[in-house]
Structure 1
């Protein structure tokens, strides 16, 4: 057997430096292949049987394996299967050396996971080109896998998934990321009804309109829906889609993406809650109370009944905060809020203004007497001590009353005047309430005492 003559091919060094593992039990064959490949700038490893080749693939991670089929200890088919099962070399291209007329060996080689085959006797002029082609293909495939992995990671971070709705079959095909969002374990296709079953009832009409408009208008559309399933918690999904046209320009499918925006919606809900509610007591805060008073003003101007604003101060905290821990002080404040809320009617709206100050909106009142009865109910509620931890605490409650429209026709005026009336109530000993207008206060007290 003579050594092959070789002349370097211009431009053939695109994969130069790659490491090639030659596996053959014939030393002369390995030497001849080594000479050809080293002339092209490849680095060469050698093994004389499949078992050694498998070990070298795990330890050295060659860029390509050139392996004979028939060898002692472990043949090329079994070695190829082992290489394919390896985490480190599972994607390494494997070129099998087979006899020119051994069709069965070629078939078995591909079934074992071979990338390609090289026939014997070897055409030395083409060998390096086959290797170079396999390496370039492997590089392209690796870049594609890395790109797909990077895309999958980006989609996971962004909580993105892909979907496709086929108008002909009515089936929806979801990417793995979207299946994970929906809690689907198997990659089965969904029908529109399957998806609708998991969509919140109030969003089903919007989803149907979304798909209908996509098909009819043939341009990108967007919609946000809330979905839930037994296998996954409820999620907010932002869907966007565009129509796929067939060769005749007719809409045949919709391709789109779905983004899980649940965290954003939950964060917005939390921000909205803290913007309108007191974190400690759970009551509406000053911002929400002002909105509700404005709504009451609008309703009264449209022919509704009058309403009253009560400005409430509980001075128990002023006497105890200096002597109890902050946690105990918070529990006292919550107990005060619960006592106030316990005597309210459904139409009443209680809020915490600040510290130990509260406000109460009483709507649909017929007159001053009804307002006074509500205020007296608040005062009487604190005649009984507050049980907090091991304490029994008494509170002095001062309530200032302002009635729309006689004591003010806007939020600021009503709060200001009810606050002034509360200051008058503080002048009395113990718990008390006072109307903003002095003569109204005296008149109501006389009626209550008759």
Structure 2
């Protein structure tokens, strides 16, 4: 059983997350404000009846209030206080779902007593809006940031492979693939407790999700406390943070030197002829959309301004063209929507008997049978000599010294 002090802290955090005053919550559960104050300080433990009322009013289960590892933290105050008039109820629900997933991620770390080490890019402050030199144009700052990131990550000028894994490791982003409302491409929120959480709209094409992820990386670098809800249609927003993030996405995913070199290679192969098929090939090489690639070539003055607009007017359909060329869409595991590290933490906690099968299923958002199958699939690794059973909780660093 958790201490009264920890229970009181959770009640206070959940109340603040809902922007309720002590007076409001006390009235809702039928106690005096002084009584609630005593509960939050850990000086008076709620009765069972009061716990039920508190859970109902705070939109949290009694189990979450009482279990040993529970996180009730919220996004940064600046994100919560941002104007919401443009957000629908569906968008607000998606934001709350991302917060809940972020809390579960932190809970898994606590269950395993993992102290998350800050990722390298978390310490980068050079591009934060609050510290940028006055008057620094956001496009120039984004171009510099993209060049820095590529040098830091040793990417050269080629395409960025395994983008999600790379940013999970280097930036500490907690990336979830969620079925967001159609008007939203991605959501980014941050707090000291939750870290940086990103939701990508899994209903969109892979190329768009990659772009959205780097866009949110821009907000992470520039002003993480403000967060972001990225519309599906950008429509040339003039906010400096949006300009910075969009420019970063273009410069990071399609570096000028690499794009120019690749363009020249196509010209050499085709005798100075560059076709729509070459455009599609370049877009697939950099894993960006046909539109993004064409507009990037226009920006670099490798194609005439207005090329994309003319192709649209001629009713050119990139997906139909790819089928005609015999190109298949990139294969994806449609079932995988949780971060790989999140899944590993949950399975390791279960292997160490720190989670029950039901709790594992809850963290993996599936039924118990599926959770058990996932555990067994990770536990057994097929090898040429047969099946090798792995202990997911074994400390392999120390094991090599013992052998």
Return the TM-score normalized by structure 1: 0.19
Q: Computing the radius of gyration over CA atoms, which structure comes out larger, 1 or 2?
A: 1
